[in-house]
Amino acid sequence: TVLVVDFGAQYAQLIARRVRECHVYSEIVPSTMPVEEMMAKKPKAIILSGGPSSVYAEGAPAVPVGLFRTGVPTFGICYGFQAMAQELGGKVARTGVAEYGGTRLTVTDEGVLFAGLPAEQAVWMSHGDSVAAAPEGFAVTATTAETPVAAFEHPELGLYGVQFHPEVLHSEYGQTVLKHFLDAAGCRPSWTMLNIVEDAVEAVRAQIGPEGRAICALSGGVDSAVAAAMVQRAIGDRLTCVFVDHGLLRKGEAEQVERDFVAATGVKLRVVDAQERFLKALDGVTDPEEKRKIIGREFIRVFEDEQRAIMADGPVDFLVQGTLYPDVVESGGGTGTANIKSHHNVGGLPDDLRFSLVEPLRALFKDEVRRAGEELGLPAAMVWRQPFPGPGLGIRIVGAVTRERLEILREADAIAREELSRAGLDREIWQCPVVLLADVRSVGVQGDGRTYGHPVVLRPVSSEDAMTADWSRVPYDVLARISTRITNEVREINRVVLDVTSKPPGTIEWE
Ligand code: XMP
């Protein structure tokens, strides 16, 4: 295990992911965790993440007491680098010269971190203070125009640090630098997908025991699907999956679950056609929060009915959920982010259902979940599906939800997805909601006649984690094809518009 000590910046997760890309397991721990507790995890190496801009800032987090006496190889990044320098007797200066963004790094001594790498390389910086003097016995190995000490190391003590962010892709050799540290620390690349899946399956088997039964709500999304497939592999038919077809999925997605997923995994599945019920509950509702609440509530009611039916064959004690590592970190990190929309995960049921949770994906990042899905043989379309909100198309119709409007939106959405895929943009684009402005009409002309139809909005965004996003610069010819096809093929739509708002201020979804 490599521990990534989180000093409160957004970079800790990225660092943990990069470590795992070197096939070494990593875990994020808060900087407030006592060193004894860290040592109990038997770390092979420790990485101190970036954090606030200054070690002198009020309430700046400190390096856990005694960390450098443990003898565990440690790598400080940005803030972690400065904190390390300060703690070990170096000097951190409030230069007043901030360095943000891309800059050139000059390697003056290859040492361990830069072995075999070019002397000049692009790196990404984000800091206010600078290390003015390395601690005694440390070799300074790199500089930049603004920062005399941009990297240092003391291989005998197993201590290393860099001012730049090796975890971001703008740092040309960042991943190699990280790998050099991990190699020097003696970390073996044994975290492979096959091991991950086997370990997770084994853990589920141990948790549920030889007799236990479990249920799982499938949403059509990748997380619940991979979680279910893992549990199925562990306990077979003692798992029952429930798929509530609320009628708010995109074209072909219900079939994907009912047919392809079952075929690929052999999961025991109960499908509930609840379309009528959801439509009725949503009748005339236009307020986004109210829609979300209704969909969440109805979902739970349907699920509870199913649960009762399944219980008729014997007790069920376990509920499978597709909780991912970022959720675990975020809820444990206590950084209290504002609740901007009441997010509802179709897999996410309330705590008062009396089950023990089985969460086989708790240690995984999204991209790892996808690869685990591939390892488990899930359909590619499902594994590589872009994020889709639990409340589905219900929150992509601005205005009341009706069967007809859902049908219109499904067609338009299918066309947009098809053209984006055909243009090879699936991996580049985080997701592209298509939003129907159902209460807006505009005049158009088609053939010889006047039309008075609805607009749809294309909302292609690029993002790392959906917390922030930018609108994607989709090539004009692709946009043109989408627009032409939608207005030609979907009769009720006579206008296609593009959303060019980043997040913030706009959220990704419109409701
Ligand atoms: P926003 O609109 O908040 O969306 O910028 C961020 C990401 O979350 C997805 N999203 C949801 N996912 N349940 C979900 O499981 C929800 O209620 C929900 N609302 C938004 C959205 O698609 C985007 O990827």
404 is catalytic: no
- Token look-up 């001012």 returns 163
* Residue 231 marked in a binding site: no
Contact 48, 79 (CB under 8 A): yes
Neighbours of 511 (CB within 10 A): 20
Q: What is the pLDDT of residues 274-309, one digit of tens each?
A: 999 999 999 999 999 999 999 999 999 999 999 999
| Cα–ligand 1 centroid distance for 509 (angstroms) | 7
165 is catalytic: yes
Tell me how many degrees the CA angle 124-75-102 measures, rounded to the nearest 5. 5
Q: What distance, in Å, lies between the first and last C-alpha atoms of the chain? A: 41
214 DSSP β-pair partners: 239, 318
Q: Which atom of ligand 1 is nearest to the CA of 507?
A: 5
CA 337, 343, 346, 352 torsion-angle sign: positive
Percentage, residues of the chain above pLDDT 90: 84
pLDDT-based confidence at residue 465 (cuts at 50, 70, 90): confident
Q: What is the rounded CA–CA span in Å between residue 150 and residue 290? A: 52
Predicted pLDDT of residue 46? 98
| Cα–ligand 1 centroid distance for 337 (angstroms) | 15
Q: Is the pLDDT of residue 339 over 70?
A: no
* Residue 8 marked in a binding site: no
Predicted pLDDT of residue 464? 81
Q: What is the pLDDT of residues 124-177, one digit of tens each?
A: 998 889 999 999 999 999 999 989 999 999 999 999 999 999 999 889 999 999
Per-residue pLDDT, averaged over 393-411, amounts to 98
Pairing, β 159-162 against β 151-154: antiparallel
Over the chain, what is the mean pLDDT?
A: 92
| Residue of 341, 457, 501 to test ligand 1 pocket, by largest number of atoms within 8 Å of CB | 341
* Residue 225 marked in a binding site: yes
Contact 364, 325 (CB under 8 A): yes
Predicted pLDDT of residue 462? 95
Q: Is the pLDDT of residue 453 over 50?
A: yes
Bond preceding residue 504 cis, omega within 30 of 0: yes
Q: Where are the beta strands (DSSP E) in 49-149?
A: 74-77, 91-93, 99-107, 120-127, 130-133, 139-143
| Cα–ligand 1 centroid distance for 209 (angstroms) | 35
Per-residue pLDDT, averaged over 242-254, amounts to 96
Predicted pLDDT of residue 57? 82
Predicted pLDDT of residue 99? 83
Predicted pLDDT of residue 332? 58
Contact 73, 141 (CB under 8 A): no
Per-residue pLDDT, averaged over 480-502, amounts to 97
Structure tokens at 344: 């509802």
Q: What is the rounded CA–CA span in Å between residue 47 and residue 63? A: 11
CB within 8 A of 437, min separation 6: which ones? 398, 399, 454, 455, 456, 457
Integer angstrom CA distances of residue 455 from 436, 478, 492:
6, 18, 9
pLDDT-based confidence at residue 334 (cuts at 50, 70, 90): very low
* Residue 137 marked in a binding site: no
- Token look-up 């400065």 returns 82
Task: Identify the DSSP state of 461.
Answer: E
Domains recognised in the chain with CATH numbers: 2-184 (3.40.50.880), 193-383 (3.40.50.620), 396-498 (3.30.300.10)
Predicted pLDDT of residue 331? 67
Q: Which residues line ligand 1 (CB under 6 A)?
A: 341, 343-345, 387, 389-391, 431, 466, 503, 507-509
Largest CA distance in the chain: 83
Look up residue 171 and give its amino acid.
S
167 is catalytic: yes
CB within 8 A of 282, min separation 6: which ones? 291, 294, 295, 394, 400, 401
Predicted pLDDT of residue 342? 45
Q: Which atom of ligand 1 is nearest to the CA of 221?
A: 15
pLDDT-based confidence at residue 427 (cuts at 50, 70, 90): confident
Contact 94, 74 (CB under 8 A): no
**Which residue in the list 22, 99, 127, 165 is annotated as catalytic?**
165
pLDDT-based confidence at residue 350 (cuts at 50, 70, 90): low
Q: Is the pLDDT of residue 354 over 80?
A: no
Predicted pLDDT of residue 10? 73
- Token look-up 């030889």 returns 210
Q: Which atom of ligand 1 is nearest to the CA of 345?
A: 15
**Which residue in the list 167, 172, 509, 511 is annotated as catalytic?**
167
Predicted pLDDT of residue 285? 98
Q: What is the rounded CA–CA span in Å between residue 177 and residue 182? A: 9
Per-residue pLDDT, averaged over 324-328, amounts to 86
